[in-house]
Amino acid sequence: MKNIFLSFLLFLNFLAFAQNPLMIPPTLSGTNINLNLQYGTHQFFPGQITQTMGANGDILGPTLILNQGDFVNFSVNNQLNDDTTIHWHGMHVSAINDGGPHTVIAAGTTWTPAFTILDKAATYWYHPHLHTRTDLHVSKGIAGLIIVKDQEEAALDLPRTYGVDDIPLVIQTKSFDSNNQIVNHSNSDTVVMANATIDPYIDLPAQVVRFRILNGSSQRVFNLGLSNNENFYLITTDGGLLNAPLQTTRLQMAPGERAEILIDLSGRVNQTLSLKSYASELPNGIYGATAPGMNASMPLNGYNPNPLNGNDFDILQINVVAPTTNPVTSIPNTLASLNPIPEADANTTRTLTFSPASPGFNQLNGEFRINNTSFDMNVINYTIPLDNVEIWELRNQSAIAHPFHIHDVQFYILDRNGNPPPATEQGRKDVVLVKPQETVRFITKFETFADDAVPYMYHCHMLTHEDGGMMGQFVVHSSNAINDETVFKGKVYPNPSSGNIHIEAKEAFSKIQILDLTGRPVFEKNFNSVNQIEIKYDKPGMYVMEIYSGTTKYLKKLIIR
């Protein structure tokens, strides 16, 4: 009798409490980052083996911690039996380093991009981007967070102890077949997970804690909130800190979007709360709502029945435990100073209209197009002058919301149907959810990098739509392209040197790059116009140093011993 009572209690426990500790991805930091893309297995369901893909492990990938200003060498080794790519979503890098569908890492080969981290402190992510197979590789498990740090963020009193009070959170839904294997291009994503953990819990200290959240789902939009509708504080949008923490009870997140939030758990030891998606509040016309299309009678194959659609569900249970020794105990008053681009600065406006390839009753299943065209690897849709300031007007003439993403830049949303965006979207962004029949305008500037050969992508971040061709590409073109390669007449000394190199020039210069003899950049530093500088690069070898002054690039042979 006692035993039965006990099992009944355990059963109640099972119903009321999440079972699995939240997995915290390991970190990689520094200026040499190695990623191995590999196959693996993972137990999503006890005793069941699921075939997966991951970076440096069975599923997901390590969190990369990068410092603004560092020149980082990456090595991405593709150990899969399939081609893929790795894209640094949200980061401002040259097209050749961006890892879009043209920069294929063939099966069994290694890709070695190298670039300076120019981004602001925020949470970014990396994922495969091979055309038509992005969802396959992401759904099977390859995705990782990137934390960029900078001095502005470091000066703030924010939680930043990874895994303790600064928690990475990759929220995803996945579809499984009857053998517990992951299915891609599916609308039957019934299983919700955080960091590849189903029914997760985490013990968090009774103080201010930070979450770095990515919606890494292939299609689903979340409407985040806490279980008792308490307030939390949004501190970053996709690409940077807000001016000040924004108090809110809800945060809608579409695929590809990131947000950092603070929750104040001070004085709450032994309490339990949960992070939920209040999907019942999502209006129809959003993947995740009761009806995925605006017209509730339009079908989407596989969408129903699914207990996640239009119903509230838990994502993560939080158990509050004793505070740490140096807790953050208050929410800062201010964070950063954003400089949105004034609308009057725009040189060009482009209109992009989203529509179904086959209109009518069945249109949610169809492919979707941008300006009536499907993605073509061989067509450049836009050529954008370097430093152009542009307004992109996104018109959704379909019945489902599309999360639009653009590479290379961060943007500011100007308006939604003519009205200012909600406060949660008034920061640096690289994804925006455009609702059915809505027009969204954003403003951005295409700076720093020009390349006539390698394009950047823009696309819907619902991976089924993206793989189906809801994508386009642009190149950034520089008319005064830096191609006068002139021998440098200033001084570079000592040369040969042992690593401390002085550079003196008559004309001010703004960038130094060092290339090895295969033409691969091994060092890069940007300045605000200087006439002399000392740099340190001490790996022995023969190199070419490039000194950029205005539109001229000077070359100098360099020997390090």
Residue 462 binding: pick among Cu ion, ligand C2O, none (C-beta 5-8 Å cut-off by kind): Cu ion
Strands, E assignment, 238-372: 240-248, 251-253, 258-264, 272-277, 313-321, 348-356, 368-370
Residue 553 binding: pick among Cu ion, ligand C2O, none (C-beta 5-8 Å cut-off by kind): none
DSSP assignment, residue 463? Answer: H
Residue 137: phi and psi, rounded to 5, are: -75, -35
Residues 367-406 that bind Cu ion (CB under 5 A): 402
How many residues sit close enough to Cu ion to count as binding (CB under 5 A)?
Answer: 6
If binding is defined by CB under 5 A, does position 210 make contact with Cu ion? no
If binding is defined by CB under 5 A, does position 129 make contact with Cu ion? no
Token look-up 């930091």 returns 29
Residue 460 binding: pick among Cu ion, ligand C2O, none (C-beta 5-8 Å cut-off by kind): Cu ion
If binding is defined by CB under 5 A, does position 462 make contact with Cu ion? yes
* Core vs surface per residue 104-127: b (16+ CB within 10 A) or e: bbeeeeebebbbbbebbbbbbbbb
Torsion, Cα 504 505 509 511, to 10 degrees, reads -50
Torsion, Cα 316 317 320 321, to 10 degrees, reads -90
- Residues 6+ away with beta carbon under 8 Å from 277: 192, 222, 223, 224, 225, 288, 308, 312, 313, 315
Exactly one of 465, 473, 488, 523 binds Cu ion (CB under 5 A); that residue is 465
Exactly one of 42, 92, 102, 129 binds ligand C2O (CB under 6 A); that residue is 129
CB 519, min distance to ligand C2O, A: 26
If binding is defined by CB under 6 A, does position 87 make contact with ligand C2O? yes
CB 127, min distance to ligand C2O, A: 6
If binding is defined by CB under 5 A, does position 461 make contact with Cu ion? no
User: Shortest CA distance to 210 belongs to which of 236, 238, 244, 176?
Assistant: 236
x/- letters, 375..414, toward ligand C2O (CB under 6 A): ------------------------------x-x-------
Residue (204 or 370) nearer to Cu ion, CB: 370
Tell me which amino acid residue 440 is: V
Are 78 and 111 in contact by the 8 Å Cβ rule? The answer is: yes
Residue 465 binding: pick among Cu ion, ligand C2O, none (C-beta 5-8 Å cut-off by kind): Cu ion
CA angle (275, 310, 52) in 5-degree steps: 65
CB 431, min distance to Cu ion, A: 8
x/- letters, 239..278, toward ligand C2O (CB under 6 A): -----------------x----------------------
If binding is defined by CB under 5 A, does position 92 make contact with Cu ion? no
Cβ-based neighbour number of residue 557 at 10 Å:
12
Token look-up 């018109």 returns 395
CA–CA distance, 428 with 223 (Å, rounded to integer): 20
If binding is defined by CB under 6 A, does position 89 make contact with ligand C2O? yes
If binding is defined by CB under 6 A, does position 171 make contact with ligand C2O? no
What the block records as the tokens of 358 is 């086959």
If binding is defined by CB under 6 A, does position 133 make contact with ligand C2O? no
Residue 402 binding: pick among ligand C2O, Cu ion, none (C-beta 5-8 Å cut-off by kind): Cu ion
Exactly one of 131, 407, 416, 459 binds Cu ion (CB under 5 A); that residue is 407
Instruction: List residues binding Cu ion (CB under 5 A).
Output: 89, 402, 407, 460, 462, 465
Instruction: List residues binding ligand C2O (CB under 6 A).
Output: 87, 89, 127, 129, 256, 405, 407, 457, 459, 461
